[in-house]
Amino acid sequence: MSGTITIALDAMGGDRAPEVVIRGADLALERHPDAQFLVFGAQERIAPLVAQLPRVAKVATLHHTSEMVQNDDKPSQALRAGRNTSMRLAIEAVAEGRADGVVSAGNTGALMAIAKFALKTLPGIDRPAIATFFPTLRGETVMLDLGANVECDAENLVQFALMGDAFARSVLGIVEPTVGLLNVGSEDLKGNDAVRGAAARLRGGLIPLRFHGFVEGDDIGAGTVDVIVTDGFTGNVALKTAEGTARLFTHALRTSFEHSPMAKIGALFARGALRKFRERLDPRRYNGAMFLGLRGIAVKSHGGTDAFGFANAIGVAIDMKVNGFLEKIRADLTRINVPMPAPQPAAL
Amino acid sequence: MSGTITIALDAMGGDRAPEVVIRGADLALERHPDAQFLVFGAQERIAPLVAQLPRVAKVATLHHTSEMVQNDDKPSQALRAGRNTSMRLAIEAVAEGRADGVVSAGNTGALMAIAKFALKTLPGIDRPAIATFFPTLRGETVMLDLGANVECDAENLVQFALMGDAFARSVLGIVEPTVGLLNVGSEDLKGNDAVRGAAARLRGGLIPLRFHGFVEGDDIGAGTVDVIVTDGFTGNVALKTAEGTARLFTHALRTSFEHSPMAKIGALFARGALRKFRERLDPRRYNGAMFLGLRGIAVKSHGGTDAFGFANAIGVAIDMKVNGFLEKIRADLTRINVPMPAPQPAAL
C-alpha cells in the first residue's frame, strides 16, 4: 500500500450519529494507521467528539454542513432536494477525486440514488448492486444484490456475477472464485426466466468466470461458493432471514443458559467458548455493504451498528481501494464485450 | 375428536424408507392412539418392520406395490408414468375417501403434481401452495408458498393469504391471525407489482382477514405475524436460508464447546440447558409441509428426516383433519366472492 488513503465520512447518517461515526473512524485507525478522513456534518456536534480523540483529530478534516438526509426521505427526494446534505457532500468528495471512498450509515435508498447520480455506473454496467459478506461453515461468501434492484433480468444477473467475481478476486484475494446463482433447486429447469437465462449465458463459456451453477438458500451458510448472485428482492429477504434466524438462535441460547443454576455454572466454565462463538458470528464483523458497479467506492454501514461495526465498514472501503477493485472490474468489463442479443419485438 | 382418523402413507418415499415411515407411524401413535394407517409399498420390505412393532401392526393395512416414484423423476413424468407407485396409490386413497390425509417423504414436485391432479384444487383457488411452521421468538409462524409456485401474481398471493389464515385459525387455534406479506421494506411503494397489488387488495376491506401489511425477512424469526405470505421462489430461498443459518450456528456452537477442557466442563454442567436449546429449535419438530388449496389433506415430510420427524409430519395431517381445516377454508372461499377484475388487453 503506497501513500495514504482518504475516506469521506457522512458523519450524520445512522441511529447514533455522529458519535458512532467518529469513534468508528478512531477504531479504524488501529488497523489502517495511514487512513485520512474527510468528515461531513454538523461542526458543533462533531468537533467536541474529535477533540476527545487525538488519533482521529490528527487525520480528520471537518467540513461543516447543517443539512442531512433523513431516514424516511425517499431516494428521489434526497437526490433532488439536498445539495448540501452530509451524505451528498461526502459522495461528491469521491466523485471529485478528493476521497478514495465514502462510508455512510444513513438512508440506503438515498445513498444508492445519490451515489449512482454523482459517481455514475461503470461502462458495461446497467445497474449497481449492493453486496455483503456472509459468514459460512468454510469462511466467507459474498452475496449480491441485496436490495438495490427489486426486479432483475438475466443480463443484470450476469453483470452482478462479474462484479462479484472481481470483488472476490481483488478484496478476498481468491484466484478463481466460484460463482453460484441462487435458485430453488439445482436442476437446469428450475427457477424463473431470469435465473435460467443468466445460467445459460454464464455456462456459455464467453464470460470468464468459474460458474458453479445454481445454489439454494442453505448453500449461503454452507459456503458452497465464493460468490452468490441473486436479484435484490430475493437477496434482501435472504439477508434479513439469516439475520432473524441468528437473532432467534442467540436468544434461545441465552435463555437456555439462564434457565437453571447448573446451566449458569456451565456458562461460567464455557465463557471463553461462548465468547469465541459470539465473535465468530458477530454481525458487526460483517458490517459494510459494498455498492458495486459504480465508478467509485461507496460502502453502506448498518444504521444501528456501533463504533466497532462502523470501523469494519471503513475497513471494507479501504480494502476495496488498496486491492484495486475498481481497476480489476474495469479490466474485466473491457475484456468482455458480449452484449445480450437485443430483444425482438413480438409478432403481432 | 370423534372416531378414528385414517392416514395413507407412502412407505417408499424418503432417504431411509420404508424404515423411517413405519417407525414414524409407530411414534405417531403415542400422541394419536386413535389413528389408523393405509400403508403403500413393497410388502417384502414393510411386513418385517410392521411385525416388530405390535402397536402399528394392529392399525396398519398394507397395500403392496413394487412401483415407486424416484427422487429424480420430473413431476410430469411421475404423473404420467406411474399409476401404481406407492405415492400415487396413497394419494388416491384420499381422493377416494378411504383415507383422511396422505403423508409422503418422497419427491416434492411429483407429490404436488399428483396431489393436484388426483385431489383437485378447491373452488376459488387457482394454485395450491406449500406451507410450513417456523419457530420464532414468540412461538410459531406459518409461511407459504415455499416452492410450489415460482412465479406468482397478486391474486395468487391473496389466495395464499386466505389459505394461511384458515390454517392458522383451524390448526393453530388463533382466533384472528395476523397476516403479513413478505417484502423488502414496510413502505407502501416497496417491492414488485405482485406484492403491491396483493397488499392493495388485502387492505381494501373485502378480504376478511387481519392484514398486518408488509413484513421483512427478519420478521420470520421475530414472529411479528402469525402468517407470512410470499411467492414460492422467495419462500423457498427464505426457508433454506434459515435452515443453513441454523446449521451454521449449531456447528459453530459445537466447535466452540469442543475447543478447550474448560469449555467441555462447561458443556457438562450446561447439558440440560443445551438440550433444551436444541429441542426448542429441533428441525424435526417443524417437519411436515402442508399442501394447502387442495380438496384433501396432503403433507410432505423432509426426505432426510428420522422417525421422530416423520411422526410429526403425520401429526400435522391429523391436526388438519381434527381441526377441520378443509371445512374452514371452504367456508371462507364461498363467503368471499370478490374476483379480481379480468385483465384488460393492451391497446395495440
pLDDT recorded at residue A253? 87
DSSP assignment of A225-269: SSEEE--HHHHHHHHHHHHHHHHHHHHHHHHHHTS-HHHHHHHHH
Is B335 near chain A, with CB under 8 Å? no
The number of C-alpha atoms within 13 Å of B139 and in the hemisphere containing its C-beta is 9
Interchain proximity B248–A221, CB inside 8 Å: yes
Residue from the list B219, B222, B281 with its beta carbon closest to the beta carbon of A252: B281
Chain A positions touching B257 (Cβ under 8 A) are 270, 273
* Residue percentage of chain A with pLDDT more than 90: 74
CA of A260: which chain B residue's CA is closest? B273
Can you list the residues of chain B whose pLDDT is less than 70? 1-3, 337-348
- What is the pLDDT of chain A when averaged over all its residues? 91
Q: What is the mean pLDDT of residues A2-6?
A: 80
Of residues A232, A239, A265, nearest to B269 (C-beta): A265
Chain B residues in contact with A270 (beta carbon < 8 A): 256-257, 262-263, 265-267, 270
Residue A79 Cα distances to A74, A76, A120, A257, angstroms: 9, 5, 14, 49
Q: Phi and psi at residue A2, in whole multiples of 5°?
A: -110, 135
Residue B337's pLDDT is 58
CA distances, B168 to each of B171, B214, B287, B317 (Å)? 6, 18, 17, 14
Q: C-alpha cell of A295?
A: 465508478
pLDDT of residue B39: 98
pLDDT for A2 beyond 50: no
**Average pLDDT of the residues of chain B:** 91
Q: Which residue has the higher pLDDT, B37 or A330?
A: B37
Count CB-CB contacts under 10 A for residue A193.
11
CB contact under 8 A, A266 and B269: yes
Return the bridge partners of A132, or none: A143
CB A119 within 8 A of CB A294: yes
Q: What is the pLDDT of residues B254-295, one digit of tens each?
A: 888 887 888 888 888 888 888 888 888 888 888 889 999 999
Q: Between chains, do A244 and B262 touch, taking CB under 8 Å as contact?
A: no
Q: Chain B: residue nearest A267 by CA? A: B266
- Disruptive mutation site among A130, A149, A249 for chain B (greatest number of B CBs within 10 Å): A249
- Phi, psi of A258, deg, nearest 5: -90, 0
Q: In the prediction, which pLDDT does A286 show?
A: 84
Give chain B's domains with CATH numbers: 1-125+293-325 (3.40.718.10), 127-284 (3.40.718.10)
Closest partner residue to B244 (CB to CB) among A219, A234, A248 is A219
Q: What is the mean pLDDT of residues A302-319?
A: 96
Interface check for A76 against chain B (CB to CB < 8 A): the answer is no
pTM over 0.95: no
Residue among A190, A245, A259 whose CB faces B245 most closely: A245
All cell numbers assigned to B84: 401404481
Residue of A157, A195, A224, A248 to mutate, testing the B interface (most B Cβ within 10 Å of its Cβ): A248
B216, B163, B174, B190: which is closest to B331 by C-alpha?
A: B163
A150-165 tens-digit pLDDT:
999 999 999 999 999 9
In A, which residues are within 8 Å of B253 by CB distance? 253, 277
Chain A residues within an 8 Å CB radius of B222: 244, 247-248
The whole-number pLDDT of residue B285 equals 84
Locus of grid cell 449458569 = A264
Q: What pLDDT score does A207 carry? A: 86
In Å, how far is B253's CA from the nearest CA of chain A? 6
Cα–Cα distances (Å) from A300 to A21, A74, A334, in that order, read: 12, 17, 27
pLDDT tens track for A96-139: 999 999 999 999 999 999 999 999 999 989 999 999 999 999 99
Residue of chain B with shortest Cα separation from A243: B218
pLDDT of residue A175: 93
